[in-house]
Structure 1
Amino acid sequence: MQTSIKLNEQLVLVTGGARGLGEHLVRAFLREGAKVVINYLNSAEAAQKLVAEAPERALAVQADVRDAAAVQAMFEQAEAHFGCPVTTVINNALPAFSFNGDARTHADALAWEHLNQQLEGVVGGALHTTQAALGGMRKQGFGRIVNVGTNLFQNPVVPYHDYTAAKAALLSLTRTLSQDLGPDGITVNMVSGGLLRTTDASAATPEAVFDYIAASTPLRRVTTPAEFADATLFFASPWSRSVTGQNLVVDGGLVKN
């Protein structure tokens, strides 16, 4: 069993990696010398543009994370391409969602379909990638799984019921998986952001909301996707080799975990 592998020796898979926060996560790992699989659903052009920046260390693969068979095939393609199993999974993919408080689904109109759409993508997707990664991680005696969460389940300043419920379920899965997979040398952690300035999902957020959040943080600014991505590196790095089942909040100190 290996307690750590350097970032530049890892094969990292980022779901939803072609744009938004995912693009910044991909760039962060590429900057550190890792090989990266860029998973995407519809953003083929953006994914290939990222690959072109590091063609020897990046691979774009289309797969719907809600489809277990497609996810398994993606892992097999990644291992065949790079000649080694995936060591690190960043579960970032998000079903279609816009952080627009004015357009959110209110309690009286909330339906199970709204919740289920988020649960299938957020929790189901993370389950499928974890299961597909287990064989290779166990063979290596090493694995890193990092789930992207939210500070909204601690501070639901805007009650996005469906999105927040799915991310809260993902936190629970993070902790139970860490307990189950620890003996295999696999750590499972979460990095939770607040509103990020700016991603595709937060593009609809009014400027006044960004200003309000900035004024409420000790750092007096809104966290950027690049800053969030840098914090995510910690859970894949050797410095986190004894850390699992944790949730790191990266939001400028707005929420204390």
Structure 2
Amino acid sequence: MTDTIADRTVLITGAGRGLGAELARAFAREGARVALNYRRSAKEALALAEELGPSAAAFKADVIDAEAVTGMVGQITEQLGAPTVLVHNALADFSFNGDARPHLDTLEWADIAAQTEVAVGGALNAIRALQPQFRQSGGRVITIGSNLVQNPVVPYHDYTAAKAALLGFTRTAARELGPLGVTVNMIAGGLLSTTDASAATPEAVFDMIAQQTPLGRVTTPEELADAALFFASPWGRAVTGQCLIVDGGLVSG
């Protein structure tokens, strides 16, 4: 595997907006070629690709469709070069609104399954599509988790269960892909200020989180995106199967 971020093609799922867009900006800033995956946010993804310049391009695929993901990787390889870094950020439709969340007496398995299909199924499809390149030159996989797994201050059952499953999958994938020279790690953020998913969160909740956080503020998408650079860089080459919580010190792993 090449040595610097600038030498790599990075595939970011769910990159059209929110945290995904900030992840793309962080990698582009370091000189990487950035493939922006989107499902429905075509306008946003295309605008971001134009913003980032000729080393970035937008690619449509639903991550739960294995055939579409494989086709997308082929398109990325032709246009930007074979991806050796995967950042799995795609999220099923979700709103962090504690008042509107499903409670246990209304929660259906389909709610959990829908979140898990994108979180874990999407990761599986992307990893499988990238395995030929991983076998040839190693790589990096970075999954996006949540500190709600460690501290479910608001019981978003479906979302948190999916992220917990993704953490387990991250660790088992690290064990299997390690011999190929592939590291697999998770970054677990807290409530971020502000993404589309957290836009429905009342301001009082942001204030409460800030007061309880050692740094005294809510983490931004830009700050979490910067942490992803470590796992993709040479400095992270001996770290795998780990979950790095990036939330200003609110919870510990």
Q: TM-score per shorter chain, which class?
A: over 0.9
Give the residue type in structure 2 aligned to 1:203. A
Distance 1:230 1:70 in 2: 29
Q: Is the 8 A contact 1:175 1:189 kept in 2?
A: yes
Give the residue type in structure 2 aligned to 1:54. L
Q: Which residue is 2:66 aligned to? A: 68
Distance 1:9 1:196 in 2: 30
- Give the counterpart of 1:200 among 188, 196, 214: 196
- TM-score w.r.t. the length of structure 1 is 0.97
- Give the counterpart of 2:18 among 17, 20, 28: 20
Q: Which residue is 2:29 aligned to? A: 31
1:46 offset after TM fit, Å? 0.7
Q: Map 1:1-12; keep pairs closer than 5 Å.
A: 2=1, 5-12=3-10
1:51 offset after TM fit, Å? 1.1
Distance 2:18 2:150 in 1: 23
Q: Which residue is 2:182 aligned to? A: 186
Q: Is the 8 A contact 2:25 2:52 kept in 1?
A: no
Q: Which residue is 1:226 aligned to? A: 222
Q: Which residue is 1:40 aligned to? A: 38
Off by >3 Å, runs of 4+ in structure 1: none
For the residue of structure 1 that corresponds to 2:148, the secondary structure is helix
Q: Which residue is 1:156 aligned to? A: 152
Q: Which residue is 1:111 aligned to? A: 108
1:18-70 per-position Cα deviation (integer Å, ceiling 9, x unaligned): 10100000000000000000000111111111111233200100000000000
1:141-187 per-position Cα deviation (integer Å, ceiling 9, x unaligned): x2100000000011000000000000000000000000001000000
For the residue of structure 1 that corresponds to 2:105, the secondary structure is helix
Q: How many residue pairs are counted as aligned between the two chains?
A: 253
1:111-165 per-position Cα deviation (integer Å, ceiling 9, x unaligned): 111011101111100110011111112111x210000000001100000000000
Give the residue type in structure 1 aligned to 2:52. A
- Give the counterpart of 2:50 among 49, 52, 64: 52
Give the residue type in structure 1 aligned to 2:98. G
1:99 paired to 2:108: no
Distance 2:196 2:152 in 1: 20
RMSD: 0.8
Give the residue type in structure 1 aligned to 2:248. G
1:143 paired to 2:139: yes
Distance 1:5 1:166 in 2: 33
Give the residue type in structure 1 aligned to 2:6. N
In the alignment, structure 1 segments of 5+ residues that lack a partner are none
For the residue of structure 2 that corresponds to 1:147, the secondary structure is strand
Q: Is the 8 A contact 1:147 1:189 kept in 2?
A: yes
Distance 2:3 2:40 in 1: 32
Q: Is the 8 A contact 2:192 2:220 kept in 1?
A: yes
Distance 1:87 1:241 in 2: 13
1:5 offset after TM fit, Å? 2.1
Q: Is the 8 A contact 1:85 1:137 kept in 2?
A: no
Q: Percent of pairs identical after alignment? A: 57
Q: Which residue is 2:85 aligned to? A: 88
Give the residue type in structure 2 aligned to 1:75. V
1:256 offset after TM fit, Å? 1.1
Q: Which residue is 2:124 aligned to? A: 127
Distance 2:52 2:212 in 1: 39
In the alignment, structure 2 segments of 5+ residues that lack a partner are none
